């Protein structure tokens, strides 16, 4: 499960091996794999683990004291944080790792927690070394509010470590029983979250997994998208309206204004919050000379499972409650599933191209890349090196065949973008028509790539 976390493991060991005590903040979204990474890291080390509750400071120390009591450590009924830290059991051999999970829950209700933690760290310098790992799933809070919330204690932090999504290639390794096409479909639904990958079983089809998890009322993921919003945001009615509108294809600010009837200023503020939480992304078109033919900036739902929810389920919640999972999938998911996956196929192609670029296995070594979003069509990927040699990529997932007309449309978009063409890659989950095969035989700069090579 952690095959793609070598850099994170190395980073944790770096802090552990440093002389003295450290406080490290580790953060990342739910299901990103923080807990598994920590469990593996502390398995052979003296460690102590506490998960913070959602409660007042008084209740927090009460519950923490009760946990210590179950572990054979006596404290007062409502101990101070200093008393708790001093009472934490340890073996006395080597550096101890102290993990406080969801520490933001404590910080938000207590002004004493961080100062007393810092005081404890300072008091241990002549006794023992500790590595305190403060873990949080509140990405937006850590990146935007944490420093002001903890005040001068921020100067005592040794570092911040963000746990990011795993790339598609790691998902392929996780599901050995799936074909590449099935892995692409799974990635489109679950994204790079290994905690979500555990919910799928590669001994059954992707359709069956969707029915069993996202459409089954008894599944833990049945209401996960709603929980994701409710745990992170207030005024969820506004956010739900905006996200639903984006899922329907209203990607520009003016489109959202006309659909929702919210003011542009209000929409901008709420979009900013969604972007900070990594639930929505703003896509800027690759900078070319053809700016007049470019859409200025569009919004997309970034979180895969949230996108799946608003794309397929949000408008059909009543039917999901009253239909069987298989019938709901047949009526509402199946007919549009290929179209939904197509956007993520482009994302996977971009990841694969970046891997090939790092390995020096492309005709150019590009230093900048992005997509071009035009008014009359898009270029899925533009990649350029320092000499302005250009590679264009066009991806097809949902059409039964990539045609010569698709190729001509790409050339038209390149003219609109006013960009030169040195190489073209056409990536498709389906076959290529005969005219494209003939074109690729006579043009050395054109390559046809099936999805199986991704």
Q: pLDDT for 325-370, tens place per residue? A: 999 999 999 999 999 999 999 999 999 999 999 999 999 999 999 9
**Whether pTM exceeds 0.85:** yes
β-bridge pairing 431-432 and 298-301: unpaired
Common-topology check for domains 6-162 and 168-341: no
DSSP track, 200-225: --TTS-HHHHHHHHTS-TTSTTTTHH
**C-alpha–C-alpha distance, residues 347 and 66, integer Å:** 48
Given a contact cutoff of 8 angstroms between Cβ atoms, the answer to whether 371 and 291 are in contact is: no
**For 302-305, which contacts have Cβ atoms below 8 Å and span 24 or more sequence positions?**
302/278, 303/29, 303/191, 303/228, 303/278, 303/279, 304/187, 304/188, 304/189, 304/190, 304/191, 304/193, 304/344, 305/189, 305/190, 305/191, 305/193, 305/196, 305/214, 305/221, 305/224, 305/225, 305/228
| Across 7-12, average pLDDT | 94
Of the listed ranges 113-117, 226-230, 332-336, 426-430, the least confidently predicted one is 226-230
| Across 151-166, average pLDDT | 96
| Domain locations in the chain as residue ranges | 6-162, 168-341, 345-453
Residue 384, Cβ neighbours under 10 Å: how many? 21
Q: How confident is the model at residue 284 (pLDDT cuts 50, 70, 90)?
A: confident
- Helix (H/G/I), strand (E/B), else coil: 48: strand
Q: Which fold has domain 168-341?
A: Arc Repressor Mutant, subunit A (1.10.10)
Given a contact cutoff of 8 angstroms between Cβ atoms, the answer to whether 426 and 436 are in contact is: yes
Give bridge partners of residue 50 from the DSSP assignment: 100
Given a contact cutoff of 8 angstroms between Cβ atoms, the answer to whether 420 and 392 are in contact is: no
Distances in Å between the alpha carbon of 141 and those of 147, 166, 238, 239, 447?
9, 22, 20, 18, 45
Burial class (CB in 10 A: 0-12, 13-18, 19+), 284: middle
The per-residue pLDDT for range 194-224, each reduced to its tens digit, is 999 999 999 999 999 999 999 999 999 999 9
Given a contact cutoff of 8 angstroms between Cβ atoms, the answer to whether 260 and 267 are in contact is: yes
Given a contact cutoff of 8 angstroms between Cβ atoms, the answer to whether 312 and 330 are in contact is: no
**C-alpha–C-alpha distance, residues 431 and 425, integer Å:** 14
Question: What does the buried/exposed string (b/e) look like for 326-338 if buried means 16 or more CB atoms within 10 Å of the residue's CB?
Answer: eebbeebbeeebb
pLDDT at 410: 95
Given a contact cutoff of 8 angstroms between Cβ atoms, the answer to whether 384 and 422 are in contact is: no
Distances in Å between the alpha carbon of 79 and those of 48, 66, 100, 116, 413?
18, 10, 17, 12, 67
pLDDT at 164: 94
Given a contact cutoff of 8 angstroms between Cβ atoms, the answer to whether 234 and 274 are in contact is: no
Q: Indicate the angle between helix axes 334-358 and 180-190, nearest 10 degrees.
A: 100
**Model confidence at 390: pLDDT above 60:** yes
Structure-block tokens of residue 145? 């509010």
pLDDT averaged over every residue in the chain: 93
**Model confidence at 426: pLDDT above 60:** yes
The per-residue pLDDT for range 242-252, each reduced to its tens digit, is 999 999 999 99
pLDDT at 3: 65
pLDDT at 375: 83
Give bridge partners of residue 446 from the DSSP assignment: 424
**Model confidence at 313: pLDDT above 70:** yes
**C-alpha–C-alpha distance, residues 100 and 202, integer Å:** 34
Structure-block tokens of residue 186? 């799974």
pLDDT at 125: 75
**Model confidence at 90: pLDDT above 50:** yes
Given a contact cutoff of 8 angstroms between Cβ atoms, the answer to whether 150 and 160 are in contact is: no
**C-alpha–C-alpha distance, residues 243 and 420, integer Å:** 36
Angle at 251 between CA 381 and CA 242, to 5 degrees: 140
pLDDT at 2: 55
Pick the CATH number of 345-453 from 3.40.1350.10, 3.40.140.10, 3.10.290.20, 3.40.50.2300: 3.40.1350.10
Q: How confident is the model at residue 1 (pLDDT cuts 50, 70, 90)?
A: very low
**CATH 3.40.50.1000 for domain 6-162:** no
| Across 425-448, average pLDDT | 95
**C-alpha–C-alpha distance, residues 146 and 153, integer Å:** 10
| Across 229-253, average pLDDT | 92
The per-residue pLDDT for range 22-40, each reduced to its tens digit, is 999 999 999 999 999 999 9
Helix, strand, coil % over all residues of the chain, rounded to 5: 50, 15, 35
């Amino acid at each position: 499960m952690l095959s793609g976390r070598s850099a994170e493991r190395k980073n944790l060991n770096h802090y552990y091996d440093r002389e003295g005590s450290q406080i490290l903040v580790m953060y990342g979204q739910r299901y990103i794999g923080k807990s598994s990474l920590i469990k593996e890291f502390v398995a052979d080390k003296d460690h102590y683990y506490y998960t913070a509750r959602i409660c007042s400071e008084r209740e927090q120390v009460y519950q923490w004291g009760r946990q210590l009591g179950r572990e054979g450590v006596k404290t007062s009924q409502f101990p101070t944080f200093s008393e708790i830290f001093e009472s934490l059991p340890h073996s006395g051999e080597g550096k101890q790792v102290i993990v406080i999970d969801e520490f933001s829950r404590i910080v938000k209700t207590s002004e004493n927690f961080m100062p007393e933690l810092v005081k404890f760290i300072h008091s241990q310098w002549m006794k023992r070394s500790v590595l305190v790992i403060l873990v949080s799933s509140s990405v937006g809070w850590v990146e935007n509010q944490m420093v002001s919330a903890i005040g001068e204690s921020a100067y005592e932090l040794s570092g911040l470590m963000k746990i990011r999504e795993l790339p598609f290639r790691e998902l392929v390794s996780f599901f050995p029983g799936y074909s590449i096409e099935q892995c692409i479909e799974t990635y489109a639904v679950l994204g790079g979250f290994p905690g979500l990958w555990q919910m799928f079983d590669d001994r059954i089809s992707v359709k069956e997994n969707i029915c069993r998890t996202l459409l089954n009322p008894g599944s833990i993921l049945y209401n996960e998208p709603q929980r994701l919003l409710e745990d992170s945001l207030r005024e969820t009615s506004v956010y739900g309206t905006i996200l639903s509108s984006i899922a329907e294809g209203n990607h520009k600010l003016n489109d959202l204004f006309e659909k929702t009837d919210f003011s542009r200023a209000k929409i901008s503020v709420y979009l900013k919050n969604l972007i900070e939480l990594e639930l929505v992304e703003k896509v800027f078109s690759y900078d070319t000379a053809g700016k007049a033919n470019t859409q200025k900036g569009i919004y997309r739902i970034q979180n895969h499972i949230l996108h799946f929810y608003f794309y397929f389920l949000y408008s059909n919640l009543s039917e999901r409650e009253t239909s069987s999972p298989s019938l709901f999938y047949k009526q509402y998911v199946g007919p549009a599933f290929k179209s939904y996956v197509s956007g993520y196929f482009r994302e996977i192609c971009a990841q694969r191209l970046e891997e090939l670029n790092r390995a020096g296995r492309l005709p150019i070594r590009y230093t900048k890349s992005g997509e071009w979003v035009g008014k009359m069509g898009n270029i899925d990927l533009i990649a350029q090196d320092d000499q302005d040699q250009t590679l264009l990529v066009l991806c097809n997932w949902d059409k039964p065949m990539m045609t010569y007309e698709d190729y001509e449309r790409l050339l038209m978009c390149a003219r609109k973008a006013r960009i030169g063409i040195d190489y073209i890659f056409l990536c498709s989950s389906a076959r290529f028509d005969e005219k494209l095969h003939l074109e690729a035989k006579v043009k050395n700069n054109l390559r046809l790539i099936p999805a199986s090579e991704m």
